[in-house]
Amino acid sequence: MMEPYDMEKILSALPHRYPMLLVDRMLALEPGEKIVAVKNVSINEPYFQGHFPGRPVMPGVLLVEAMVQAGALLLYATLPEVNPASICFAGIDGARFRQPVGPGDQVVLEVRQTRRRSGVIKMAGLAFVQERRVAEAKLMALIEGEK
């Protein structure tokens, strides 16, 4: 198991910045296997103004994006020889949103690498709040130029 990244290393690995950086902390990292990361949800998130007034709910697409960003950190640690700019998000299957996520929640993201072949990497993402599964998705990434 590798030492988890601090915020400085997360910022150096991911191109995302506010308001689209959705990984606040990494708890565990096993290159080639899995990552566990955290997204802290604050009422100050800009999407809460319109989603939805009086009943703030984190959009499901942002839960998926948080899983994708955690998956990207896993891939960067797994494939240090690959230029991060050549890894791109390529697909999502089976996304399910089981419970709403709102201000004050801490989302624990768990992403596992399930397969790698011919430049295609498949991962399974889960999101939990207080150990309750709130979302899940199968993710796919491509390494451009790898066959």
How far is residue 7's CA from residue 10's CA, in Å, rounded to a whole number?
A: 5
- Which residues lie closer than 8 Å to 132 by C-beta, 6 or more apart? 98, 99
Identity of residue 13: A
- Spatial strand order of the sheet with 106-117 comes to 25-30, 34-40, 106-117, 120-129, 132-143, 87-97
Q: What are phi and psi of 103, to 5 degrees?
A: -55, 135
Q: 9, 16, 25, 51: which one is catalytic?
A: 51
How far is residue 136's CA from residue 147's CA, in Å, rounded to a whole number?
A: 28
Q: What is the DSSP letter of 2?
A: B
Q: Are β-strands 120-129 and 132-143 bridged in parallel, bridged antiparallel, or unpaired?
A: antiparallel
16 is catalytic: no
Residues belonging to the active site? 51
